[in-house]
Every structure is written in C-alpha cells, then in structure tokens.
Structure 1
Amino acid sequence: MQTLLLKVDPQKPNEKVIEIAASLIKQGETVAFPTETVYGVGADAMNEKAVEGIFAAKRRKMDNPLLVHVNSWEQASGLVTEVPGEVLVLVKEFWPGPLTFIAKAGDKIPAPVRAGLPTVGLRMPDHPVALALIKAAGSPIAATSANISGRPSPTVAEHVKADLSGRIGAIVDAGETGWGIESTILDVSKTPFKILRTGAVSWERLEKVLPGLISKPAGVHKWKRITPRYQPLVQIVPIKYGEQMAEAVEREILKGRRTGAVFISEQKLPTSLDFVRVIRGGPQEYARVLFDIFRAADQNRLECLFMEMPVERGLGVAVADRIIQAARP
C-alpha cells in the first residue's frame, strides 16, 4: 500500500486537501491526522471493515477498544445511552478538548470499535484539522494513536511515517501537536466517575468542576500494566523527582553502555553522556516533548535512559505514568 502524504496549515486547513482525506475515509481507508494531543489513525466509525483496518495497520489486539471522534456533542449524544447530567457540565467546560468520556454505547456502534464492550469512548478533538476532517467525512471517526501498538505515541507526522508508512491510506501533516500527551479517559458509565487513563486534563481540573464526583487516581507506582505501552527500544530508568542520578549513570557508562539522562532538578552528571535533555518548563513542557525524547533516544542508539519524573500533581501525574509504563518490567 502506498501512503499518501497531505500537508495542511494547522489553523486554516485547505478544504481540497481535507476533502481528499475525507474521500479516503468514505472509501473505507485508514487515515492519520493531527489532534491537539497526538496524531491519530482513524476510519469511518460506522464501517466495521474499515475499523478492522486500524487494528491491522497498528498490529493492535482486537480486545483493545478505539475512541470515537466527533465534531459536536449533538453527534456524540446519538451514539450513547443513559448519559448522566453531570457529563454536560464537563462537556461545556472541556469540549472541544483532551477529555474522553466512556459511556454506555447505543446500537449504532460496531462491535470492533467497542472491542465487544457495552461502552464506547467519545472525544471531540480541539484541532481545526481533525474537526474539519470529521465534518467532511460525514461520519464520526474511530481512531487511536497513529503508531505501531506499544510504541511511543506520535507528535509529528514524521513519527507516523516511521511506524505506519505503507500500512495506511494517508497521513495529514499539520506539524507538531500541542499537548504531546494523550487525552484523559473518564468513565462516566457509573458513579463515582473514574479516570481510566490520566492525560492532558488533570484530576484537579475535573475536581474543580465537579467536586467530589470523580475518584482520585492512585499513584502511578500502584497501577498495573496490562499491555506494553509507550515503549521505546532503549531501557528507561525512572528516577524520583529530586533524587540524584549521577552514581547510577556512571555505573552504566563504565559498563560501556550508551547512556542518556533527562532531568528537571539540579544534577551533577558525567560529561561523557551520549544524550542529555533538561526540562525547565514544568510538566507542560515535559508532556510536549516526552514521546519525542523516547524516539530521539532510539535514533541515538541509546541503551539506557535515566528519566527524572515530575512531581505527581496535575499534569505531572500523566507524565510520570508514561515514564513508568515505558520502563521495561
């Protein structure tokens, strides 16, 4: 399969280019496109065969559900049943934006989208290109991150090309994404609402809007990893915030291993490191560059990458989660 590369302006996408991508969606093809979080790969959510193409392209297990991307709450509400009234409060506050709702699915949603579950994930991306594509396609788009399953999520079209070129119909290139980390997934199918995946919208922001109605997520070290996620080839070594890593780094260098370090606090590190990134812009900067760091480490053929985690508060929880999950057991 030849993958078509379509470049557009992220704020004012060319209608003709969007129509080309939308026509592929209508024909049952898979198309990668930018959102405000990461690049997604999607297909017509109502076309079961097209949806199965997403799983094939990503080498993703069919028991892992997709998210349905919509361009309005009106479009979303026709796909679910029994939505609590409080959800509308969250919709008003966070949509369009990086918050996904898990709600009881209506009859319209094909089984592969839901992975056979009685619920479905709904999201309205805050990106002009994604919204224009959904509108032009004339149907909700089932999608997930545009990478080979288990690999770091893509934040630029080059990442998508590296993983999926020749496996999907087209890539819509609108430059770098904004948040750099995926949406928060919130289960609203039962109360209290529960965060299933931390992401760009923190628990603190949700709690401020609906006090006492959303369970606080456990610390990232207590979470179980069901399947490998976000993993680069390099060995990731998580380091607690403020903990000095110099001795551990030196030991790896003495073993002759290509070693790197990513840090936030003041660190006294060997000058012989093969890769160094300093994060000074807080959790937002860390989230934006995290997956790029993973891929850059692999490009630099690192064997070991020490990563200082942010404080587990706000967006820092999601960043720490990705680092922990990227670390091999």
Structure 2
Amino acid sequence: MKTLVLSEIEIGSINVASQLLSDGELVAIPTETVYGLAADATNRSAINKIFAVKGRPKNHPLILHLASIDQLSDWAIEIPSNLSILATHFWPGPMSLLLKKHPNVLNEITGGSDKICIRIPSHPITLSLLRMLNKGIVAPSANLFGRVSPTSAKHVLDDLDGKISAILDGGQCEVGLESTIIDLTEKKPTILRPGGLSLLEIEKVLNEKIIVNSNLNEKVSGNLINHYQPKALVHSIKTSEIENLTEDLLGAKSVLLLLSDINTDNIQTYSMPSDPYKYGQILYSTLRLMDDRNFEKIIIELPPEKSDWYAIHDRIKKASFKEL
C-alpha cells in the first residue's frame, strides 16, 4: 500500500480523505494536539484496523471526535449540566470529556466500557472533514502504540508509511500534547489525563477545585504507565543532579534536555523552553529528533513542581518508565 500525502492547500484533499474514511480506510488527520489515526466510528471493520496497524490492545479505548456538540446525544447519555459550561469555554479545543455511552456505540470504541471519551478538535482542516462526513470519527494518535505521539505529517510517515491509506497534512500541531481528559461520570469532575488544557483554566471556569487522578484502572487513552516512549532510553533528573553528570558516566551517545542555565561543557545538551506551553509544543518533536540523531539515552531535566507543568511531568514519567 502506498500512503498518500494530501496537502491542506491542495484543492480536493478533504474530499479525498472523506471518501477514504467512508470506504472504511484509515486516514491520519491533523488536530491542534497531535495527529490522529482516523476511522469511521460507525464502521467496526475500520475501527479494528486501527488496533491492528498501531499494535494497540483492543481493551484500550479510543477517543471519539465530533464536529459539533449538537451530535453529542447520538453518542452519550446522562449528560451532566457542567458539560455545557466546559464546552462553551473549551470546545473546539484540547479537551476530552468522559461520559456515559449511548447503547448504540460500538464496544470496540470503548474497550467494553460503558463510558465514552469525546472531544471536538479545533484544527480547521479536521473540522471541515468532520462536517463533510457528518458523522463521528475515532482517532487515537497516529503512531505505533506506546511510542512518541506525532506532531507532524513526517512523524506519521516515520511510523505508519505504507500501513495506512493517507495522511491529511495540516502542518505542525499547535499544542503538541494530547487533550486533557475530564471524567464527568461522577458528581465531581476529575482529570484522568493532563494535557493541552491546563488545570487552572478548568478550575477557573467551573469555580471549584478539580481532582487529578491518575487511575490506571480507568479505561481512557494514554493512562498506561509506559507510554509516549522514544527508541532511546529516557531518564529524568532533578536540577541539583546535573552538576554530577559527565560524558564518561552517561556514554557518548547521550543528550541532556536542559531547562536551567547551568555549565554543562562536558556533556551534549539541547535547550528546552522555560515556558510550559512552549515546552509542550516541542516535547514530542524533540524526542523524535533525538531518535533521528541516533542518541541512545535522553536525560531530561525535570521542570518545576507547579500545576502548569503537570502534563509535562506526566509525559516525562511515562516516557522514562521501565519494566522491572
């Protein structure tokens, strides 16, 4: 199979992508967070292709993408009142909401759970595609399961070239981290996966403190402890530990992703932004770049222990997790 690359500036690209999805094919699509691997959410065969292509466990749920909140009742039931507040402020955008699923939703989407995760992406290309299809699509990250999520069409090709029908190239992703997942199935909203929407923004809108719960038993995308991992081994260190690093200790094919202004003449470094939003924008592309440069070990200086860095800490923790 030859993977088509459909340019966003090429007339008819969205039409081609729409037809491929309608025919049961897989198409990588741009969102403001990361590139997703899209399939028609009503087509069981197409959905199963996602699991096969990614190597994704079938009990690991997929996120449903819609064009409008008007479609929500076709996919979810028992919709809580605080959803409208969140949707008004953050949809379209990097927010996914966990809700009770409609009985007609395919079990393949939810991994057998009675809950479904839904979002409305803000990328104009994908919104146009969703409106043209006039149906939901499921779209986990367009990469091999457990690896670093793609934030460009090139990243998708690196993992899935020849395995999927097409990539709708919408340029570099603006946010660079996956959506924030908020559980609305209980009385109090809970963040199950931190992401492109910050905790402070959510608390401000709802006017209440929000629980952050990394519950590995809850079935949502990205909740596995070993996730977002490059080919290189990843280690995290505190700023106070950097001065003890030497090339002899690390090995010649190691690089330090550095936040601080510290003298590190004895080791290779790569400077990362001090702003958490900008850091998130380039984290995945930086990890992939280090793989392209054939580094065998990536050491990451841990950012500050502040709420606006929470999603970054989550990704570093999962990228550096090693099975015992």
Give 1:107 deviation, angstroms: 1.9
Give 1:272 deviation, angstroms: 4.7
Residues 1:258 and 1:24: Cα distance change in structure 2 (over 3 Å)? same
Q: What is the alpha-carbon root mean square deviation over aligned residues?
A: 1.9
Structure 1 counterpart of 2:219: none
CA offsets per residue over residues 120-163 of structure 1, 9 Å max, x none?
Answer: 01000011011011111221111110000010000000000010
Give 1:93 deviation, angstroms: 0.7
User: Gapped runs of 5+ residues in structure 2?
Assistant: 215-221
Structure 2 counterpart of 1:48: 44
Note if contact 2:228-2:315 (Cα within 8 Å) is conserved in structure 1: yes
Greater alpha carbon shift after TM alignment, 302-311 vs 162-171: 302-311
Of residues 291, 294, 302, the one that matches 2:284 is 291
Give 1:251 deviation, angstroms: 4.2
Q: How does 1:89-168 map to 2 (within 5 A)?
A: 89-168=85-164
Q: Please give the alpha-carbon distance, in whole angstroms, between the structure 1 residues aligned to 2:274 and 2:304.
A: 13
Q: How does 1:1-329 map to 2 (within 5 A)?
A: 1-9=1-9, 16-212=12-208, 214-217=210-213, 226-240=224-238, 242-253=239-250, 256-273=251-268, 276-329=269-322
CA offsets per residue over residues 226-257 of structure 1, 9 Å max, x none?
Answer: 352111111111123x424132344434xx43
Note if contact 2:181-2:194 (Cα within 8 Å) is conserved in structure 1: yes
Note if contact 1:182-1:200 (Cα within 8 Å) is conserved in structure 2: yes
Note if contact 1:257-1:304 (Cα within 8 Å) is conserved in structure 2: no
Q: Please give the alpha-carbon distance, in whole angstroms, between the structure 2 residues aligned to 1:24 and 1:315.
A: 39
CA offsets per residue over residues 249-308 of structure 1, 9 Å max, x none?
Answer: 44434xx431101111121113452xx221234111110110111111111111221111
2:294 aligns to what SS in structure 1?
Answer: coil
Letter matched to residue 291 of structure 1: Y
Give 1:185 deviation, angstroms: 0.5
Letter matched to residue 287 of structure 1: G
Q: Please give the alpha-carbon distance, in whole angstroms, between the structure 2 residues aligned to 1:133 and 1:249.
A: 50
Give 1:25 deviation, angstroms: 0.4
Question: Segments of 4+ in structure 1 off by > 4 A?
Answer: none
Note if contact 2:47-2:108 (Cα within 8 Å) is conserved in structure 1: yes
Give 1:201 deviation, angstroms: 0.8
Q: Please give the alpha-carbon distance, in whole angstroms, between the structure 2 residues aligned to 1:137 and 1:48.
A: 17
Q: Please give the alpha-carbon distance, in whole angstroms, between the structure 1 residues aligned to 2:234 and 2:223.
A: 15
Note if contact 2:96-2:118 (Cα within 8 Å) is conserved in structure 1: yes
Residues 1:217 and 1:311: Cα distance change in structure 2 (over 3 Å)? farther
Note if contact 1:46-1:108 (Cα within 8 Å) is conserved in structure 2: no
TM-score normalised to structure 2 length: 0.93
Give 1:311 deviation, angstroms: 1.8
Q: Please give the alpha-carbon distance, in whole angstroms, between the structure 1 residues aligned to 2:164 and 2:265.
A: 43
CA offsets per residue over residues 161-182 of structure 1, 9 Å max, x none?
Answer: 0101111111011110001100
CA offsets per residue over residues 80-105 of structure 1, 9 Å max, x none?
Answer: 00011011100001000000000000
Tell me the matched-pair count.
316
User: Gapped runs of 5+ residues in structure 1?
Assistant: 219-223
Greater alpha carbon shift after TM alignment, 242-251 vs 297-306: 242-251
Residues 1:312 and 1:72: Cα distance change in structure 2 (over 3 Å)? farther
Residues 1:202 and 1:189: Cα distance change in structure 2 (over 3 Å)? same
Note if contact 1:70-1:140 (Cα within 8 Å) is conserved in structure 2: yes
Letter matched to residue 142 of structure 1: V
Structure 2 counterpart of 1:221: none
Using the aligned pairs only, state the percent identity. Answer: 35
